[in-house]
Chain A
Amino acid sequence: MTTTTLATSSNRRADGENPATGSARWVRIVLTLATVAFIGIFVVLPLANVFAQAFSHGVSGYVHAFFADGPPRGVHMPVRERLKMITAASQARQTRSAIAMTLLVGTTAVVFNVVFGVAAAWAVGKFRFRGKTLLISLIDLPFSVSPVVAGLIFVLLFGREGVFGNWATHFKWPDPFSIYWRGFNGHWWPFGDDQQLEGIVFTPLGIVLGTIFVTFPFVARSLMPTVEAQGVEEEQAALSLGASGWQTFRRVTLPNIRWALLYGIMLCTCRAFGEFGAVSVVSGNTDANDTIPLRVEKLWQSYDSQAAFALASLLAGLALITLLIKGVVDWRRAATVRAGGGGVL
C-alpha cells in the first residue's frame, strides 16, 4: 500500500487499526486521498498546464516567444507576413527586456533584504531592548498589507503630488542598463553611464522599492528562530578567545545560520521575481518598466496566450528549482546533523 503519509510513524497493528487512537484504516485512506486530490487539483494540474500551454506550439514556438527574428533584408514577402515578423521580433525583445528587468530588480531587492534580514534577526535574536515586540510586528507588516496598497504608498510618497514629490520627481540617477566601465583615468569612480533616469516611481528604482517592501520579512523571518535558538554563548566564547566582531560573525554566527539564510534567500527570490501588485502600481504601466509578471499579464491581455505561458514557465521553473534546492538543503542538513556537524535549523 502506498498511502504512507499517515501510516509510517504510527505503531499500528497489521490490520491497519491504530490501537491508541482507534482510527480505522478507511479514515487514513480517505484523508490521504483527499490530500492527494486537493494538491493534484490546485497545485499539480495548474503547474502542468503552464508547461503544456507554453509548449503548445512545440519547442520552436517556445523559443520563438523569447527570440524572434525580424524580416530578412532584401527578401520579398507579403506586407502582412512582414508586419507579423516585425511585431513578433519586437514582442520577443520586450519579453527579454522584462526578464532582464526582473533579474536586476529581484537581485537588488534580495541583496538588500539579506543585509537587512541578517541585521534584524541579529538585533531581535541576540539583544533585549525596548520596543522589540513592536519591531517584530513592523517586520511582519508587509505580510498583512496588500501589495497594491504597498505600491500605492510609494506613489503617494514619491509621486508628483506625493509628500516628497518635489524632490523625488527631480531625483536623477544613472540608468543601470547604461552603466559601463571607464577605468580610473582621472576619475575616482570607475563607472560611467550614458543615460540618466529621473524620478523614483515609474522607474526601475520605484520597482525595487516596491519589491523590497513586499519581500521585506522573508529573510528576517526565516532567520529569527534560528538566531534566537542559537543564543549568545558561542559568540561570547569566540570573543573571549580574542576574535573580532567580524571574525565572530563570519566564523561562528554565519555558519550556524547558513541553512536558514539559504532558505530565506530562496523564498525572498521567488517572491521578488514573482511580485505583481506593488510592481504594477509603481511601474507606471510603461513597456520599459515591465517585469516578468507584468509582461505575462500584457501578453495574456493581447491574446498571445502561448507566449504568456512560455514566460510564466520561467517563474514556474524557478519555483521548481527552489523546491529542489530546499529538498537538497533539508537532506544535507539532516546528513550533517547525522554526521554530528552543526547547522541545526
Chain B
Amino acid sequence: MSVEVRNLTKSYGNFTAVKDVSLVVNTGQLVALVGPSGSGKTTLLRSIAGLEQPDPGAGTILLNGKDVAAEPVGRRKIGFVFQHYALFKHMTVGENVAFGLRVRPWRSRPSRQEIRKIVGELLDLVQLRGMERRYPSQLSGGQRQRIALARALATKPAVLLLDEPFGALDAKVRRELRQWLRQLHHDVGVTTIFVTHDQEEALEVADRVAVMNKGVIEQIGTPTEVYDHPATPFVQTFLGTVNLFRGRIAEDLQKSGETSNGRDPTSPGKATAFVRPHDVEISRLANGHPGLVGEVISTSMTGPTTRVYLQLSDSRELVEAELTRNRYHELALKIGDTVYVSWRKAKVFADDYSI
C-alpha cells in the first residue's frame, strides 16, 4: 500500500509541529524520517497512523490513494510500533502477539488453532520461538522490540510505522537489529516508515531518507543522494560530522577560508564551505596548493580510521579530519605539528542560513 501525505499541518497550541508537509511513499518502500528531536517526525508518523488528527482542513492523508481522514486508527490497516514498545505488561508474549487477532469480531476471527499457528510463525520470524509464555518484563530490550514488531505484523498491516524503533537499545543490539529490520522488510515486503534521530541508522537501513527540521521536510532522497548532494546546509550538517569553512565565494574556493574568514563579514559573496572529515586532506608540505595552515591538537583512533583534530592558525577554528590508518602512519603526525589542510570535496552554500 502506498502512503501519501499532502500539505499536512499539525499544531499544538501555538507550536506548529508539522508545517505543510507532503510526502509520498511507494508500495514496499522502506523510508526513514530523520531529524533532531522536535523536528516533527514523530508527529508526522502518528498523523499517518491516525493517532494524531491534523489541524482542521490542513492536510490530507491517502493510503492506497484513499483519503483516510474519517478512518480511526484501528481501521487504517497500519501496524504501529511504539518507541517504548507499549507491550501489554499483564499478558504473555503469546497473548501480546495474538491480541490483534483476538479482538476481531468473531466472524473474521481466526480459530484458536489458527491463532496459535500464526503466533508461532511470527515468533519464528522475529527469532523468539518458545517465548510464548514469558512476560514482557522477562525479556531484554531487543527482544521486547521484536515482540512489538511481531504484534504489529500479526494483523497483516499494509503499512508498518515504527517510532524510534531502536531508540532505547544499546549500540550493539541496535546495529544487529538494523540489519535484521532490513532483512525483515526484504522478506515481508510491507511498506515501512520509521522515525529515527540517528542519521547513521537512517542512511544504513532505509531505501529513502526524509530529513526533517523544524516541522518541514528539507530533503527526500536515497541515502546516497542526501549524503552526497545535500539540498540545504541543515541536511549537510545533520547527516554526519562536517567542518565549516566560512569565507567568500571568490576566485578560488580552496582559498576561501584563508582569505576572508571573519574579516569581511558584510561582503556580498559570503558563503560557507561544508567539508566532511573524510574529505579533509592533510599534508606535511605546502605542495603548491594554497592550503590552510593548522596545528595538530589531538588524535584519536576509532576503529579503522583515525580522527585528527586541528586548529587553524589564522581563524583558530577547529577542523576534524578522518584519515585511513595507512595515511595516518604515513604522515606520522604528532601533537603540535604544523600541517597544511585542504579538501577533496566541499559543498558550498551561500550564507543566508544561520547554523
* Chains A and B form a bound pair: yes
Give me the interface of A with B, judged by CB distance under 8 Å: 233-234, 236-244, 247, 251-252, 255-256, 337, 339-344
Neighbouring A residues of B328 by C-beta, 8 Å: none
Q: How far is it, in angstroms, between the C-alpha of A44 and the C-alpha of B51 when the chains are bound?
A: 54
Count of chain B residues with Cβ under 8 Å from any Cβ of A? Answer: 30
Residues on B lying within 8 angstroms of A by beta carbon are 49, 51, 72-75, 78-80, 82, 84, 86-91, 99-100, 103-104, 134-138, 151-152, 154-155
- Knowing A256-B89, A339-B135, A343-B90, the reply to whether A236 touches B103 (Cβ < 8 A) is no
Give the most central of A237, A239, A340, A342: most B CB within 10 Å: A237
Residue of A nearest to B99 (CB): A241
A340–B88 Cα distance when bound, in Å, is 12
Q: Closest CB-CB distance, A248 to chain B, in whole Å?
A: 8
CB neighbours of B104 from chain A (8 A): 242
**Distance to closest chain A CB from B115 (angstroms):** 13
Residue of B nearest to A250 (CB): B103
Q: Are B89 and A240 neighbours in the complex by a CB distance under 8 Å?
A: no
CB of A238 to closest CB in B, whole Å: 7
The smallest C-beta distance from B49 to any residue of chain A, in angstroms, reads: 6
Chain A residue with the shortest CB-CB distance to B72: A239
Assembled-state Cα–Cα distance A340/B90 (Å): 9
> Closest chain A residue to B80 by CB distance?
A240
B residues less than 8 Å from A233 (CB atoms): 82, 84, 86
Which residue of chain B has its CB nearest to the CB of A336? B90
Residues of chain B contacted by A340 (CB below 8 angstroms): 134-138
A75 to B99 CA separation, bound complex (whole angstroms): 72
Q: Bound complex: CA of A252 vs CA of B137, how far in Å?
A: 16
Cross-chain contact B74 with A242 (CB below 8 angstroms): yes
* Chain A residues with CB below 8 A from B51, complex form: 236, 240
Query: What are 8 contact pairs spanning A and B, CB under 8 A?
Result: A234-B86, A237-B86, A237-B87, A240-B79, A242-B155, A243-B74, A256-B90, A340-B136
Neighbouring B residues of A343 by C-beta, 8 Å? 89-90
Closest to B102 in A: A251
Of the residues B82, B90, B135, contact of A236 by C-beta under 8 Å: B82
Min CB gap B290→A, angstroms: 58
**A241 partner residues in chain B, CB cutoff 8 A:** 74, 99-100, 103, 151-152, 154-155
Assuming the contacts A339-B135, A341-B135, asked whether A234 and B100 have C-beta atoms less than 8 A apart, the reply is: no
* Residues on the A chain within 8 Å of B134, using CB: 340
A242 & B100 in contact (Cβ 8 Å cutoff): yes
Assess A237 versus B80: contact at CB under 8 Å? Given A242-B155, A243-B74, A340-B138. yes
A240 CA / B100 CA spacing, docked (Å): 9
How far is B75's CA from A243's CA once the two chains are assembled, in angstroms? Answer: 10
CB-defined contacts of B151 to chain A, threshold 8 Å: 237, 241
B99 touches A341 (CB 8 A): no
| Residue contact B135 to A240, C-beta cutoff 8 Å | no
**A241, B78: Cα distance in complex, Å:** 8
Hey, which chain B residues are within 8 Å of A237, CB to CB?
Answer: 80, 82, 86-88, 151
A251 adjacent to B80 (CB under 8 Å):
no
Q: Is the CB of A341 within 8 A of B86?
A: no
Q: Which residues of A contact B86 (CB under 8 A)?
A: 233-234, 236-237
Beta-carbon nearest neighbor of B154 in chain A: A241
Q: Once bound together, how far apart are the Cα atoms of A100 and B88, in whole Å?
A: 42
Determine the residue in chain B with the shortest Cβ distance to A339: B135
Q: Please, how many angstroms separate the alpha-carbon atoms of A341 and B135 in the complex?
A: 6
